[in-house]
Chain A
Amino acid sequence: MSEATLTAQGEARTAGAPGEPGASRMTQRSLNEDCLKLISKPGPVWWTIFVIDLAILTVGLLAERNQIMFGIGVAGHTRPVMWASYVANFVFWVGIAHCGTLVSAILFLFRSHFRRSVYRIAEAMTVFGVLTAGLFPIVHLGRPWFAYWLFPYPNQRGLWPNFRSPLEWDVFAVSTYLTVSSIFFFVGIIPDAAAARDRAKGPFSRLWFSIFSLGWTGANHQWKHFYGAYLYFAAIATPLVLSVHSVVSWDFAMAQVPGWHSTIFAPYFVAGAIFSGVALVINLLIPIRSAFKLEHIVTVDHIEKLGKLVLLTSTIVTYSYLCEFFMAWYGPNSHERDLFWWRATGHFWWAFWIMMTCNSIIPLLLWSKKVRRSMSVMFVICLFVNVGMWFERFVIIVTSLARPFEPYSWGVNYKMSWTEGAILAGSFAWFFMFFLIFVRVLPAFSVAEIKETLAAPLKRRAA
């Protein structure tokens, strides 16, 4: 195993040219080996996790079958809470999907080289996160087989979707996001798939990687157009990532429901999305670097930098929580004031305080450098962040709907059903199923970009 490490600033502590001190420890060749060694026959641990994952997914699918057979009534939706866990799950997974584009596109534009070691995992998470999120508007439908009505297509009745509705904006935003993030992900894989193709031993794996590498040879004209396009993908994906969660937030903010009708929602949701997304990336990277002995590629410095992003976004999210309460207290709207008081002290007080504890209080530990550099503590903190962010969506959606303008419906409160719980668990299994397969069949680390971190081999330096 190589002992050299990459610094988070994007420099190799050892150069790659032969003859240099430490060159034998990390070279372009050793990086090929290290980054591509995940693509191998899975062992018993992987199979055990995969089978458990599929079992949970089966439970989720059975619950969905149950809902299709017996109707949406098997979910715990009760008037006035007709949007609940499914919409919370949708927002949660779209949020999770945001980190990939942040790390791969925004940090690319800012030339933050620490992204190189972690961005592929984050991008994969984005694609699988949107795939998971996209299920929930369909699951939430009473007649899911009519989900295609959401899309504008010429039809016999001359009907078109309502383009003034934020729900229709969501259709465009989320489907664009899925398409663009998938393209970004698969384009980035091209040079790495070529590296995997060139070291593949069997014809089937060679064919598999040939498909993903599209016949890449690393010719100068290919690199020129590849990086030309990559820069524009990053430039396109950056406003897209900001717009998608803004549009998701407008699903709520455009309605005049207390607790929803606020201009702070777009930046508040984007910050929350990045917060939960980066936390999940850390949760994925820590076990992978440990299981595959990649501590020299995904270093403690990298995790620490991601930890700082979690801390930054935690403070933005906390500011938004406080700002909402301040505006409710300071503003003239008594319904808003009542709702926010009820949110913290009413029927769902426990959900609110789980949210506050996990998203605002526990991340304060990240001010300590020692905490940020402890992998086990970081892992646990990020788990709490994800629990907290799911509850944030639950609190926003359910508490606002459970406390509408008319007091006659205040006593009726939503309770999550077993069907909803099983579908939520199934969504995690669905996400992890893709992820578990991905790390075994495609390059989970960008070999080409990590190689750029090494100093270019120069004769005059070696001489």
Chain B
Amino acid sequence: MIRALGNWIDKLLKGPPVRYRGVMGVFYYVDEVTAALDALKQGGHRDLSVFSPVPHHQIEKALEQGPSLVRWVTFTGGVLGLTGGLSLCIYSVYSWPLVVAGKELVSLPPFIVIGYESMILLAALSNLIGMLALGRLPRVKSKAPYDPRFTEDRIGVWVPCDGEAAIRVREMMRGHGAEEVHLHA
């Protein structure tokens, strides 16, 4: 029973079979990866993906990655949270008007605390949603053939291509110090 359940989980995690078309190079050294990326870009290859256990600035630079757009999602969430929190307080005092100690119904200083906390709450939630949406998470299947060593100490470079181009990419990766090159065509 447990074994059957285990097999079912394995099948579930494996997901449906995906046919990849491209070349996956496995590297150890970061400078070899960046050199390979430069050569690939010069060869006209786009949509390159790099898998690594830690982020490397050299790789980000080689891929010409700009800053993440997640900041705008966070900012929007923060603005909505601030206005939402203040609106809730103001709405509630008008919907049940109860004058306490002769003070104004809409007394902003205490409401700012609620607005502030709501701003942070919604900014954090939006930040999370933005990160997941932009990072395409959660996902069952990787966009490239995945190797568990990519969370250990190896770096994978995936180039989507096929035919003659794939052969050229394979040779080029070998020339740039790839430990292994896998052709998926």
- Beta-carbon contact of A243 and B117 below 8 Å: yes
Complex interface: chain B residues within 8 A of A428 (CB): none
- Beta-carbon contact of B110 and A163 below 8 Å: yes
Q: Mark A191-222, 1 if CB is under 8 A from B, else 0.
A: 10011011100111011001000111111111
Check A187/B128 contact, CB under 8 A, given A217-B142, A236-B74.
yes
Complex interface: chain B residues within 8 A of A247 (CB): 113, 117
Q: How far is the CA of A184 from the CA of B124 in the complex (A)?
A: 9
- Beta-carbon contact of B142 and A215 below 8 Å: yes
- Beta-carbon contact of B120 and A236 below 8 Å: yes
A14 at the interface (CB under 8 A from B): no
Check A217/B51 contact, CB under 8 A, given A232-B127, A456-B30.
yes
Complex interface: chain B residues within 8 A of A458 (CB): 29-31
A27 at the interface (CB under 8 A from B): yes
Q: How far is the CA of A183 from the CA of B58 in the complex (A)?
A: 29
Complex interface: chain B residues within 8 A of A111 (CB): none
Complex interface: chain A residues within 8 A of B118 (CB): 172, 176
- Beta-carbon contact of A176 and B117 below 8 Å: yes
Which of chain B's residues 78-114 have a Cβ closer than 8 Å to chain A? 78, 85, 88-89, 92-93, 95-96, 100, 107, 110-111, 113-114
- Beta-carbon contact of B124 and A180 below 8 Å: yes
A18's nearest neighbour on chain B, judged by CB, is B28
- Beta-carbon contact of B53 and A218 below 8 Å: yes
A246's nearest neighbour on chain B, judged by CB, is B113
- Beta-carbon contact of B95 and A462 below 8 Å: no
Which of chain B's residues 134-154 have a Cβ closer than 8 Å to chain A? 134-144, 146, 148-153
Q: Which of A44-52, A69-77, A223-231, A362-370 contacts B (4 or more CB under 8 A)?
A: A223-231
- Beta-carbon contact of B113 and A169 below 8 Å: yes
- Beta-carbon contact of A218 and B51 below 8 Å: yes
- Beta-carbon contact of A240 and B142 below 8 Å: no
Complex interface: chain B residues within 8 A of A217 (CB): 51, 142, 144, 146, 150
A240's nearest neighbour on chain B, judged by CB, is B120
Which of chain A's residues 400-428 have a Cβ closer than 8 Å to chain B? none
- Beta-carbon contact of B113 and A214 below 8 Å: no
- Beta-carbon contact of B128 and A183 below 8 Å: yes
A68 at the interface (CB under 8 A from B): no
A346 at the interface (CB under 8 A from B): no
Complex interface: chain A residues within 8 A of B13 (CB): 203, 206-207, 210
Q: How far is the CA of A218 from the CA of B26 in the complex (A)?
A: 14
- Beta-carbon contact of B50 and A236 below 8 Å: no
Complex interface: chain B residues within 8 A of A228 (CB): 67-71, 131, 134
Q: How far is the CA of A27 from the CA of B124 in the complex (A)?
A: 34
A65 at the interface (CB under 8 A from B): no
A29 at the interface (CB under 8 A from B): yes
Q: Which of B3-11, B38-46, B159-167 contacts A (4 or more CB under 8 A)?
A: B3-11
Q: How far is the CA of A237 from the CA of B119 in the complex (A)?
A: 12
Complex interface: chain B residues within 8 A of A222 (CB): 135-137
B123 at the interface (CB under 8 A from A): yes
A200's nearest neighbour on chain B, judged by CB, is B148
Complex interface: chain A residues within 8 A of B125 (CB): 179, 183
Complex interface: chain B residues within 8 A of A283 (CB): none
- Beta-carbon contact of B32 and A459 below 8 Å: yes
Q: How far is the CA of A206 from the CA of B149 in the complex (A)?
A: 15
Q: Mark B42-63, 1 if CB is under 8 A from A, else 0.
A: 0000000111111110111001
Partner of B28, one of A203, A220, A457: A457
- Beta-carbon contact of B54 and A448 below 8 Å: yes
B132 at the interface (CB under 8 A from A): yes
Number of interface residues of B (CB under 8 A): 77
- Beta-carbon contact of B152 and A180 below 8 Å: no
A452 at the interface (CB under 8 A from B): yes
A158 at the interface (CB under 8 A from B): yes
Q: How far is the CA of A27 from the CA of B136 in the complex (A)?
A: 30
B89's nearest neighbour on chain A, judged by CB, is A163
- Beta-carbon contact of A229 and B128 below 8 Å: yes
Complex interface: chain A residues within 8 A of B151 (CB): 32, 191, 194-195, 197-198, 216, 218
- Beta-carbon contact of B89 and A199 below 8 Å: no
A207's nearest neighbour on chain B, judged by CB, is B9
B30 to chain A, nearest CB (A): 5
Q: How far is the CA of A198 from the CA of B60 in the complex (A)?
A: 24
Q: How far is the CA of A233 from the CA of B85 in the complex (A)?
A: 20
- Beta-carbon contact of B134 and A225 below 8 Å: yes
A460 at the interface (CB under 8 A from B): yes
Complex interface: chain B residues within 8 A of A149 (CB): none
A164 at the interface (CB under 8 A from B): yes
Check A448/B53 contact, CB under 8 A, given A179-B125, A457-B30.
yes
Complex interface: chain A residues within 8 A of B5 (CB): 203
A159's nearest neighbour on chain B, judged by CB, is B96
- Beta-carbon contact of A221 and B49 below 8 Å: yes
- Beta-carbon contact of B29 and A16 below 8 Å: no
A173 at the interface (CB under 8 A from B): yes
B61 to chain A, nearest CB (A): 11
- Beta-carbon contact of B127 and A164 below 8 Å: no
B22 to chain A, nearest CB (A): 14
Partner of A225, one of B50, B68, B117: B68
Complex interface: chain A residues within 8 A of B92 (CB): 152, 160-161, 163
Complex interface: chain A residues within 8 A of B120 (CB): 176, 180, 236, 239-240, 243
Complex interface: chain B residues within 8 A of A372 (CB): none
- Beta-carbon contact of B6 and A169 below 8 Å: no
A86 to chain B, nearest CB (A): 23
B177's nearest neighbour on chain A, judged by CB, is A459
Partner of A452, one of B6, B54, B150: B54
Question: Please, could you name 24 A-B residue pairs with CB atoms under 8 Å apart, sorted by A?
Answer: A17-B28, A28-B152, A29-B153, A158-B95, A164-B110, A169-B113, A179-B121, A183-B125, A195-B151, A198-B151, A199-B152, A203-B13, A206-B13, A214-B132, A216-B151, A217-B144, A219-B50, A219-B143, A220-B63, A224-B135, A225-B135, A232-B70, A236-B78, A236-B127
